[in-house]
Amino acid sequence: MKLVMVGTGYVGLVSGACFAEFGFETVCVDKDQNHIEKIKKGICPFFEPGINDLLVKHYQKTKLLSFTTSLSEAMQNADIVFITVGTPSRRIEDEADLTAVWDVSHEIAKNIKSYCVIATKSTVPVGTTKKIKKIIESKISSENFDVVSNPEFLREGSAINDFMRPDRVVIGTESEKSEKLMRELYRPLMLNETPIVSTTIETSEVIKYASNSFLATKISFINQVADLCEAVDANVQDVAKGMGIDKRIGSKFLHAGPGFGGSCFPKDVKAFAATAKKFNIDFSILEAVKSFNENRPQVIVKKILDTKKIDTNSNVALLGLSFKPNTDDIRDSTSLKIAAILQKHNIKINCYDPVAMDNARKHNKTLNFFDSVYDACEGVNAIIIGTCLLYTSPSPRDRG
């Protein structure tokens, strides 16, 4: 079976490398020439534990994995073409910006030569995959392709393990032929008895947004419980433990902190709420999650200032700059938001992160960057642990 990943970012590159590990010939395509050249030289454009070993194994040794900027070349004899481009928030409205999805759909339509499945792995609002079908149908007969929704649930920082040992695989199809092909693709996961959830395309699209929105809600819920605990002298960590032991609740995503960030939760909560609004559905829970989380960095800064231990012209160390540990992704990083608010109070920030310094430097040049935790903390008035550093140093190879 030959696979194509269109969009070679976190999801496209990791899933492409893992499909090669399953034994499939996989071509990763990206429109960004520099990005592709870098990967071909063995430099992974982002930090993800274990990815470099898979690239060496399947790009250099087995040759199952290849990279190109040419979609037409990649799509020759392809069986499944995955759309793995970004779906960020629009600048003004909360909806997902699907520009890249529509662009690649038109490109894919021009390059279908024989039957293949077009699968959306990007997180897309309900109805998108059927719209992709319409775009392709305007160029080519529907007998020559099927569309499928196959959302991705991997987490940055543990992406390879998540992909190779997922809790479930969701496949939304509308034909037996495409469902059979997708089940064949994920056959290697049957060894781990991974549940395959087969649904309609619309249901599959909703499962992804509902899952991320639910996890984000759990985080905001425990953060509100944390605020209450502070007011009544209770311990939120013990509360979370006492709640999480209950199997109906579960202990994951019950860690109080500065709020969620990253490339998925903030935009997915917004997009899911926007979908509800479009269909006149009351999803006020999500509106509350969104606004509470957006305000969280301000609340954290207020808590810091209320200690009266620091004021204007103080020096503060900020440890951890990415949106969570084990990644260099700083998209919507709460840590960097806290830094920016403190800077508005004329507080100087010394910072350190084991892998995200280069990205953070591009984002905010006015922070003081240090090469170690100890140097960053020297002589400061306070230390903020932005992302938990309970973490082993990456090998030089994993740094890319």
Residues that bind ligand NAD (CB under 6 A): 6-12, 29-32, 35, 84-87, 100, 103-104, 122-123, 152, 154, 156, 263-264
> Judged by CB, which is closer to ligand NAD: 157, or 316?
157
* Distance between CA atoms of residues 203 and 229, nearest Å: 38
Q: How far is the CB of 197 from ligand NAD (least distance, A)?
A: 16
Catalytic-residue membership of 264 = yes
Q: What pairs with residue 67 in β-bridges?
A: 28
> Judged by CB, which is closer to ligand NAD: 155, or 348?
155
> Judged by CB, which is closer to ligand NAD: 100, or 356?
100
Longest distance between any two alpha carbons in the chain, whole Å: 69
The residue type at 159: A
> Judged by CB, which is closer to ligand NAD: 220, or 263?
263
> Judged by CB, which is closer to ligand NAD: 162, or 174?
162
Residues 311-321 as b or e (16 or more Cβ within 10 Å = b): eeebbbbbbbb
Contacts of 257-260 with C-beta under 8 Å, sequence gap 24+, read 257/219, 257/223, 258/296, 258/297, 258/300, 258/334, 258/335, 258/338, 258/386, 259/219, 259/220, 259/223, 259/292, 259/293, 259/296, 259/297, 259/300, 259/334, 260/216, 260/219, 260/220, 260/293, 260/334
Q: Which one from 116, 229, 264, 351 is the annotated catalytic residue?
A: 264
Identify the residue whose tokens are 């339509």: 109
Going from the C-alpha of 78 to that of each of 14, 26, 53, 137, 153, the distances in angstroms are 19, 9, 25, 18, 24
Asked if residues 88 and 267 have their Cβ atoms less than 8 Å apart, the reply is yes
> Judged by CB, which is closer to ligand NAD: 168, or 241?
168
Asked if residues 377 and 383 have their Cβ atoms less than 8 Å apart, the reply is yes
Q: How far is the CB of 272 from ligand NAD (least distance, A)?
A: 12
Q: How far is the CB of 159 from ligand NAD (least distance, A)?
A: 7
Q: How far is the CB of 251 from ligand NAD (least distance, A)?
A: 22
The DSSP-derived string for 257-325 is SS---SSSHHHHHHHHHHHHHHTT---HHHHHHHHHHHHHHHHHHHHHHHTSS--TT-EEEEE--SSST
> Judged by CB, which is closer to ligand NAD: 69, or 199?
69
Q: How far is the CB of 7 from ligand NAD (least distance, A)?
A: 3
> Residue 255 is encoded by which pair of tokens?
């860690």
3-state secondary structure of 90: coil
Closest CA to 10 of 371, 322, 270, 254: 322
Q: How far is the CB of 103 from ligand NAD (least distance, A)?
A: 4
170 phi/psi in degrees, rounded to 5: -110, 130
> Judged by CB, which is closer to ligand NAD: 212, or 335?
212
Q: How far is the CB of 231 from ligand NAD (least distance, A)?
A: 35
Collect all residues with Cβ–Cβ distance below 8 Å to 30 and sequence separation of at least 6. 7, 8, 9, 12, 36, 67, 69
Residue number of the CB atom closest to ligand NAD:
9
Q: How far is the CB of 14 from ligand NAD (least distance, A)?
A: 8
Instruction: List active site positions.
Output: 264
